[in-house]
Amino acid sequence: MTPHQFRTRVYYEDTDLAGIVYYANYLKFIERARTEWVASLGVDQMALKARDGIVFAVRRVEADFLRPARFGDDLVVETRLQGLGGARIVLEQLVLRGGERLFAAVVTLVCLTEAGHAARLPPELRARLAGPLH
């Protein structure tokens, strides 16, 4: 499966005093990439909430900080679907600079009702998410 690609640049506000990306900002980069991945599949998260009363929440993140990104770097965040459960989505996300891996994460999302209870992925949403696997 071809990963979804999201391009971003490292701004001064993303860095610490040494000009290196502050570790928590990698989570922001991959969050933006997940939002764009879902949108690229034709899923409107606001409509999903309004129509079905469900939202996505991060349940778990396993992260490896491999090399530092620096002020001015052009980055690519790749997102790949690893698995789908009843209410769970597992993604691999990589942050790359010129093909070099800087950060790698496995992110587990859960589908929740607005009250915070687990909810099964609606069949139409499941089909859109699983589409690239076939």
Note the pLDDT tens digit of each residue in 64-81: 999 999 999 999 999 999
What's this model's pTM, rounded to 2 decimal places?
0.92
Q: Which residue do the tokens 């790359």 mark?
A: 96
The CATH number for 111's domain is: 3.10.129.10
pLDDT score of 131: 75
Considering its fold, how many domains does the chain have in total? 1
Q: Is 16 a catalytic residue?
A: yes
Residue of 14, 16, 73, 74 with catalytic role: 16
pLDDT class for 129, splitting at 50, 70, 90? confident
Residue 38 burial class via C-beta count within 10 angstroms: exposed 0-12, middle 13-18, buried 19 and up: buried
Full domain range(s) for residue 59: 4-133
Give 110-124 pLDDT, tens digit per residue.
999 989 999 999 898
Q: How far apart are the first and last CA of the chain?
A: 8
- The answer to whether residues 108 and 30 touch, using CB atoms and an 8 Å cutoff, is no
* pLDDT: which is higher, 87 or 131: 87
pLDDT class for 134, splitting at 50, 70, 90? very low
Q: How far is CA 56 from the centre of its chain?
A: 11
pLDDT tops 60 at residue 133: no
User: Helix or strand or coil: residue 112?
Assistant: strand
Token pair, residue 41, equals 């599949």
